[in-house]
Amino acid sequence: MEINFEDKTVVVIGGTSGINLGIADKFAQSGARLAVASRSQKKVDEAINTLSKYKHHAIGYAGDVREYKVIEEIFKKFNQQLGDIDILISGAAGNFPAPALGISSNGFKAVVDIDLVGTFHVMRSAYPFLKKPGASVINISAPQAYIPLEFQVHVCAAKSGVDMVTKVLAMEWGVEGIRVNSISPGPISETEGMKRLAPTEEILNATSESVPLKRIGTKVDIANTAMFLSSDYASYISGTVIPVDGGWSLGGASYLSSEMKKLFKI
116 binds ligand COA (CB under 6 A): no
List binders of ligand COA among 120-179 (CB under 6 A).
none
Q: Which stretch binds ligand COA (CB under 6 A): 20-28, 88-96, 211-219, 239-247?
A: 88-96
> Of these partners, ligand NAP, ligand COA, none, which one is at the site of residue 96 (CB under 5 to 8 Å by kind)?
ligand COA
> Of these partners, ligand NAP, ligand COA, none, which one is at the site of residue 111 (CB under 5 to 8 Å by kind)?
ligand COA
> Which residue number has the CB closest to ligand NAP?
18
Distance from C-alpha of 192 to C-alpha of 105, rounded to nearest angstrom: 23
71 and 65 in contact (C-beta within 8 Å)? Answer: yes
234 and 179 in contact (C-beta within 8 Å)? Answer: yes
Return the bridge partners of 59, or none: 35
187 binds ligand NAP (CB under 6 A): yes
- Strand segments, DSSP code E, in 70-218 are 87-90, 136-140, 179-185
Binds ligand NAP (CB under 6 A): choice among 188, 223, 241, 256: 188
Distance from C-alpha of 231 to C-alpha of 134, rounded to nearest angstrom: 10
241 binds ligand NAP (CB under 6 A): no
Distance from C-alpha of 162 to C-alpha of 164, rounded to nearest angstrom: 5
Binds ligand NAP (CB under 6 A): choice among 185, 243, 246, 252: 185
Three-state secondary structure string covering 212-255:
CCCCCECHHHHHHHHHHHHCHHHCCCCCCEEEECCCHHHCHHHH
Print burial letters for 216-251: b (CB count within 10 Å at least 16), e (below 16).
bbebebbbbbbbebbbeebeeebbbbbbbbbebbee
DSSP letter, residue 30: T
**β 59-62/33-38 pair status:** parallel
User: Which residue, 103 or 174, is less far from ligand NAP as judged by CB?
Assistant: 103
Q: Which stretch binds ligand COA (CB under 6 A): 27-35, 100-108, 176-184, 231-239?
A: 100-108
List binders of ligand NAP among 7-26 (CB under 6 A).
14, 16-20
183 binds ligand COA (CB under 6 A): no
User: Which residue, 14 or 246, is less far from ligand COA as judged by CB?
Assistant: 14
Residue numbers of the site for ligand NAP (CB under 6 A)?
Answer: 14, 16-20, 38-40, 43, 64-66, 91-94, 114, 118, 140, 142, 185, 187-188, 191-194
What is the contact surface with ligand COA in residues (CB under 6 A)? Answer: 93-96, 98, 102-104, 106-107, 110-111, 192-193, 196
